[in-house]
Amino acid sequence: MIVSLISQLELSNDFKEREEAVKLIKTFVRACPPDLTCAYSSSILTCLIKKLDGELATSTFVSAVLEVISEISKVNSEDIKPYLGDLFPLVLECIKDLSSRDKRMMAIKTLISIIENTGFVVKPYFYFPTILKTVTDLVQNE
């Protein structure tokens, strides 16, 4: 089933189908035992990062993708570590996007979840020096 959902997410041209596939993947990650989720987390992350990085998508779709990434970081923090270099810039870009409050809030929750579950606390400041300014600007604007 999860392979079918990943294929649907990668191959479908319909935004609604992609959004539904992401929501079902989120349900899979939340409901299944961690060892089953761990077996597919790398494939799921690869697909989701491509969808965040390469396309224009609705804010609902991006929020759903970020929520799945957050759930995977809770279930399998070791598999998410190799993707941090790709994920952090994408999440920070979502935080900076002022067009959708829901997307921004989900990006913040995802960032917090990744940091809490991977122990990647201090290094983001070295790799992404703008992260502190981005977060403080966001707090000041809220």
Residue-wise pLDDT for 7-39, tens only, equals: 988 888 888 898 999 999 999 999 988 888 888
Q: What is the pLDDT of residue 110?
A: 93
* pLDDT at residue 23 in the model: 93
Q: Using CA atoms, how far apart are residues 10 and 17, in angstroms rounded to an integer?
A: 10
Task: Give the domain 2-141 fold.
Answer: Leucine-rich Repeat Variant (1.25.10)
pLDDT for 69: 94
Longest dimension (CA), the chain: 44
Q: How buried is residue 13: exposed, middle or buried, by Cβ count under 10 Å (0-12/13-18/19+)?
A: exposed
- The domains of the chain are located at 2-141
pLDDT in tens, 93-131: 888 888 888 988 999 999 989 989 988 888 777 888 888
Of the candidates 81, 87, 66, the residue with the CA atom closest to the CA atom of residue 118: 81
The full length of the chain comes to 142
Instruction: Give pLDDT, residue 68.
Output: 94
Predicted pLDDT of residue 128: 82
